[in-house]
Chain A
Amino acid sequence: MNRKYIKAVLISSAVVAAFAIFHYGCQESKNLSAGDEAARVYVAPGSYDEFYMFTSGGFSGQVGVYGLPSGRLFRQIPVFSQDAEKAYGYSEESKPMLMTSFGFLPWDDAHHPELSQTDGVPDGRWLFINANNTPRVARIDLSTFTTAEIIEIPNSGGNHGSPFVTENNEYVVASTRFSLPIPNEDVPISSYKENFKGTLTFIKVAPDGKLNIAFQILVPGFDYDLAHAGKGPSHGWAFFTSYNTEQANTLLEVNASQNDKDFIAAVNWKKAEEYIAKGNFTKTSTTYYRNYFDERKHMAFSEKNSEVKILTPEDCPGLIYYLPTPKSPHGVDVDPTGEYIAAGGKLAAVIPVHSFSKMIKAIESKDFDTDVNGIPVLKYESVLAGEVENCGLGPLHTEFDGNGFGYTSAFISSEIVKWEIGTWKVVDRIPTYYSIGHLSIPGGDSKKPWGKYVVALNKITKDRYLPTGPELTQSAQLIDISGDKMKLLLDFPTIGEPHYAQSIPAEILMKNSKKIYPIEENEHPYSIKAEKDARVERKNNDVHVYMSTIRTHFAPDNIEGIKVGDNVYFHVTNLEQDWDIPHGFAVKGAQNSELLILPGMTETIVWKPLQAGIYPFYCTDFCSALHQEMQGYVRVSPRNSNVELAWGTGK
């Protein structure tokens, strides 16, 4: 009896212990799996990643450059926010890049990186990205990984649905998230339905990349959310999601979620071109900036524009149609064949997939439900190809693998669901940690996806990483999609909220990557091509220092005759012509930033000394064995002193 009792106690406690250990193990390991994952993401020291991945920096305003499959961060490209490390937005040359009709803006919210395309396939020439807050689109040059151009979008309240490209970069599209009075004016907010309008903007991309606002389409005052251009058979069309068709101007969370269906706007941009050619537009005066970087002058320039062409749907039949789409759709994604248009109805229980060919037939047979401000609304059943059921909660975005499958992110249920085009059946699903927004497959929104991986871009990380106080990192998760079952390979942190990312095979970009700026092509007006030309010139209170750098000295490195109240312009030319040898320049008391001058480049920082004395300057980027010797002095004298301007090196 006694023995039996002991035995029973022992057994039951063993069982309890086993469960406890099992349970504890589950909590601790969090999806840890013991396979070949480590080997799959391991890129040996000195080896290269297979893909470049460009992530939006979200509210950092920048673009991150990562490698896949390793998840290593290579670079942050400053775009819409000042970056003191690279003097972006601080140097005299780069300040014009951040000019807008609202003046110089030091910050914005970067959302969707989109690679330029040739024949519907990413070509590696440029990366476009939108600023959401003060509407703009930037073009990044992928031979230098720097921002080449930024164009402001007039008549837009918030540039969210942007910057998606057509098959051969004919256009970059942009839609306003927030509607506004157009032109903007002082009206009661409660007059929303009467006064507020939206715009869909088409930005022409010239063969050399130059951006120009070709035309805008005035649309009803909804919130326009995301976009994608057609491809293949649907080339010539662009699709824009909208929500708040209720036209609420307060508590949208409730008031904009009333209608059973909102709309995808389908725009026939070839038709728009015909109307423009016929002169069927109005010219509206407005103000917007185009800023561009001249790579020879090493300097940005701003151009102020004052007019835009506007098309009105009532006057342009056949220009635009509405596709009813359930429940405040977010993403609109066109499959590689160009036939299917998948929508992410944030609050919907299914993913509706529209058919382009059915849409064309419905237009031809005038299969309309009604119209909104002259825009025909097609019948849902007439355009629908199918609905993906059991797609998770809060479906947002879809990318494609090129093998007949779509992958949709579901925000509320934190997962990716894989479904088959044609049968519309879910074939696999995988949890993400946590609250996935966008997802990204290499080439996943193009005609020819490279597939292989899907990257989940998560809004919340909670317990996934070591805690860093109240603010935690954002994250990406690399998932293998080469087999039937998706398989989680790697978590890695990203900087800023990763709204979207695009990846491209490394070999496409590597061969075009610039190593230096040839010094003989430097046309900067304050550059010097030889150390003997280093000098200091005074023009009233402005002092221009023509300075050169080479391993390991500045010329000049001793400067006297500067006076309190002077504006000292340090124009620093890096005479190096060797890859990866930038020099830095920092002077004590600088109220802006350092300079980081790449080989062959000239950059300028303004310094305003406030007190007499001696001020050291030095190179901030470790450049050689004698880097610590790369320094100099400026002597600042009182305003009324007679100290002569003098300079030199090695004397």
Chain B
Amino acid sequence: MELVEVNQLQAAIDSFAGKDVYLHLETTNGSYASHFNEGFFNAGAFIRNVVINFELGKVVGDSPHRVGLKLPQGWVYAQGITHFEIDEQGRLLLAGHDGSGKLAVALQLSETPFSY
């Protein structure tokens, strides 16, 4: 993955607009957050292989960036995006990695389903 280059990422997001695409969206503090820090309120969400079709997608702000997708009747967004990659299967993988190298958020789009 590379650090987000806004123009390149914007072009990549645009290339998925108006198509049925598979979504992976994840936010996480890690399953050990309240083990190492008792009392920590651990929250996160995970969606994988839900099909969406967005009409407008934008990357906004300085790093860590925010990325939002406007759907005909709804929204998808993620904040904390630092890195991106178009992988060898043409999937757009966005991630937010903290200073210690741990993933905190991921937003991914693919024209074919992600693995299980």
Chains A and B form a bound pair: no
Residues of A participating in the B interface, judged by any CB pair closer than 8 Å:
none
Residues of B participating in the A interface, judged by any CB pair closer than 8 Å:
none
